[in-house]
Amino acid sequence: MKKYLLAGLLVWLPLAITIWVLHSVLGVLDGVFGWMLSASQAVLPEAARAPIELLREIPGLGVIVMIVGLLLTGAFAANMFGQWWLTQGSRLLSKIPIVKSIYSSVKQVSDTLFSSSGNAFREAVLIQYPRAGSWTIAFVTGKPGGEAAQHLHGDYLSVYVPTTPNPTSGFFLMLPRSDVIVLQMSVDEALKYVISMGVVAPPMTPQRLVDRTPEPLRN
């Protein structure tokens, strides 16, 4: 009976967690969409409020609206006219106290992480942490800059060490390039390895078995 219970648990647990995560995300998006509808009702005439209220009852409409909004925003930002307006908006937000600190910090991080030309989170590596002889997986986020780079002599890399099983928190380290071993596994495979606490190990493909020599990190 114990064998069958465990087998059933292995079947239903991943499905249940996946449904729970998707339901939570849909709930958040529907909540944001409902708040937008409530805000629009405050400025619209009385005759237009009833049709808008019906939209609140459609499940999953917030996801569709978000996807359409992202596509329209991306199309707007991809042309020169949209880039000019976005630049003006960024300048305006950069002049507002408190807001400018939050906005500029978040914008710099997002531009670095999602830039197609950047190296942030493009490579999984193996490092010794938190002491010599103990190894963990980290992700390259770039190279040290600013005042910190002036005190580091030699070739250093900035890496992010995620925690398990929640990879959204972790540690930021600056290590010599010679202390970093580049892994052949992709970032997605490395994240699965970290989140599963080492249970879900990436498979060794024939290419990895042939070439186990770490490649030099990209600058």
Instruction: Note the pLDDT tens digit of each residue in 97-116.
Output: 887 778 777 776 666 656 55
Instruction: Measure the CA–CA gap between 105 and 99, rounded to whole angstroms.
Output: 10
pLDDT of 135 above 90? yes
Instruction: Note the pLDDT tens digit of each residue in 8-31.
Output: 887 888 788 888 887 787 777 777
Q: Confidence class of residue 214 from pLDDT cuts 50, 70 and 90?
A: very low
Residue 48's pLDDT is 65
Instruction: Note the pLDDT tens digit of each residue in 43-72.
Output: 667 766 667 677 767 766 777 877 888 888
Residue 206's pLDDT is 57
Instruction: Note the pLDDT tens digit of each residue in 140-193.
Output: 988 888 888 889 988 999 999 998 888 878 899 999 999 999 998 888 889 888
Specify whether the CB–CB gap between 53 and 37 falls below 8 A.
yes
